[in-house]
Amino acid sequence: MPTINAIILAAGEGSRMKSNTPKVLQQLSDKTLLRHVVDAALPLGAKLNIVIGHRAELVKASICNECVNWVVQKQQLGTGHAVQQVMPDIADDSICLVLYGDVPLIQNTTLETLIEQANNSGFSLLSIVLDDPAGYGRIKRDTQGKIIGIVEQKDASESEQKINEINTGIMAIKAPLLREYLCNLKPNNAQGELYLTDIVEMANANNVTISSCICGNVAEVMGVNDKNQLAELERLLQQKQVNAFMADGLGVKDPARFDCRGTLSFGKDCMIDINVVFEGDNKLGDNVTIAPNCIIKNAKVGDNTEIKANSIIENSTVGNNAAIGPFARLRPEANIGDEAKIGNFVEVKKSTIGNNSKVSHLSYVGDSTIGEGVNVGAGVITCNYDGANKYQTVIKDGAFIGSDAQLIAPVTIGKNATIGAGATITKDVPDESLSLSRSKQTTLDTWKRPTKK
């Protein structure tokens, strides 16, 4: 197989997006549109040639981990003109695969077929049949079904507009043919541009057989021009993902209200309720349940654990048989042990909560190590930050922290120690002891409640 040169057209502004961000850098799931296309081309072993123009440096910065030949198209004079800019860098013993930075869901398996056909015939096109082809270039065939040309919507006659096989723009062609045809392009159209599609008629005139690959999935070839189309593709992508997850055994209450913007692995008998969003890389054990409106990002969740409604877990680990939430937030580097409980309106940051420990209500635990069997009462705060530096709190096994206590780090609470409610602890507390810090309660018998004059 010859070398594959992927030529990805990504120079346009995308004015219909009405955004300061270039169109190809709009987000679809967890990637930019351009990144989706690059990831489809890489498994083919293709060399990447990306044509850029609008906000070129920003686009270049988005693909910083691949070897890319960046080619600047200073003026956007059509698709043919864009490909012309790349050809000086293309060797004749290669196949050129023309892709578009705003057609993100193309699959590498489809491209493999297209390349194989081009290797045999010299030229292959990807098309699709639509019930409503309005707005797209039509594939023209002769009476024997041979492709003889492409006509754009704005240039099509009334009879040509009735054709429902449309051009996707994606093609594979041997480099010498492409080079020859590009040199002969003329701006003979309503837009005054150089259309890449005009090379089809040139190939037909040269008796080159143009292989036809008809795509069976419209989502693969859908382009994105505005926010409506971006949202439409997002739902199609999410539907594809959730269907695959459910086929592998994931329980999902409502597939239309499920989003995975990354990767997700799961064990048996997991159940995901509505409006749960997965981001990054996530792993669920067996029998995990996640209630509505949760965000799970780069998390590992153990067996038989329940994530209750409206909770956020980010870059954290949760053990087996644990309970999180409702309205809990695990910030990065929270490690929650087996049988542990993180209750409502509790925030944990960069802390370890040991097995069988509980932080049940309205508390903040930051930069802390909590042992096993610890009870942290309502309203407890680990005061880890002095305005300049952060310090550690250590709570040893079996300790009981009374409600509304403030633990001023750095401080250590000993094994099986008890902290009285409302205490402010500034010094280490020994094992098996009770620590209090309260002013004496005073009752004024002569006090009278004020009354309105």
Taking the alpha carbons at both ends of the chain, their separation in whole angstroms is 97
Taking residues 368-395, report their average pLDDT: 97
Residue 445 lies in a domain: no
Q: Is 431 within a domain?
A: yes
pLDDT at 193: 86
Same domain for 421 and 349? yes
Quote the pTM value.
0.90
Whether 423 is covered by a domain: the verdict is yes
User: Could you tell me if 144 and 268 lie in one domain?
Assistant: no
CA-based nearest residue to 74, from 28, 149, 31, 11: 11
pLDDT digits (tens, 9 = 90+) for 261-306: 999 999 999 999 999 999 999 999 999 999 999 999 999 999 999 9
% of the chain exceeding 90 in pLDDT:
84
Q: What's the residue count for the chain?
A: 453
Are 158 and 303 in the same domain? no
Contact criterion met (CB below 8 Å) for 48 and 8: yes
Q: Is 361 a catalytic residue?
A: yes
Same-domain pairing of 316 and 193 = no
Least confident range from 30-34, 195-199, 366-370, 423-427: namely 195-199
Task: State which H helix or E strand residue 247 sits in.
Answer: helix 227-247
Of 36, 54, 81, 361, which one is the catalytic site residue? 361
Which residue from 402, 352, 395, 398 is spatially nearest to 374, judged by alpha carbons? 398
Token representation of residue 240: 């594809």
- Are 178 and 259 part of one and the same domain? no
- Does some domain include residue 95? yes
C-alpha span between 334 and 25 (Å, rounded): 32
Query: How would DSSP label each residue in 141-205?
Result: E-TTS-EEEEE-GGG--TTGGG--EEEEEEEEEEHHHHHHHHHT----STT----GGGHHHHHHH
Confidence of residue 76 (pLDDT cuts 50, 70, 90): confident
Tell me, what's the pLDDT at 440?
85
- Using alpha carbons, select from 318, 339, 317, 343 the residue that is nearest to residue 328: 343
For residue 232, being part of any structural domain is answered with: yes
Question: Quick check: is 231 in a domain?
Answer: yes
Based on the fold, state whether residues 130 and 105 are members of the same structural domain.
Answer: yes
pLDDT of residue 187: 86
For residue 247, give both structure tokens.
């086929």
- pLDDT of residue 45 exceeding 90, the answer is yes
> Does residue 232 share a domain with residue 105?
no
CATH value at residue 281? 2.160.10.10
Residue reference for tokens 């009405």: 18
Which residue range is the domain that position 120 belongs to? Answer: 3-221
Domain assignment present for 264? yes
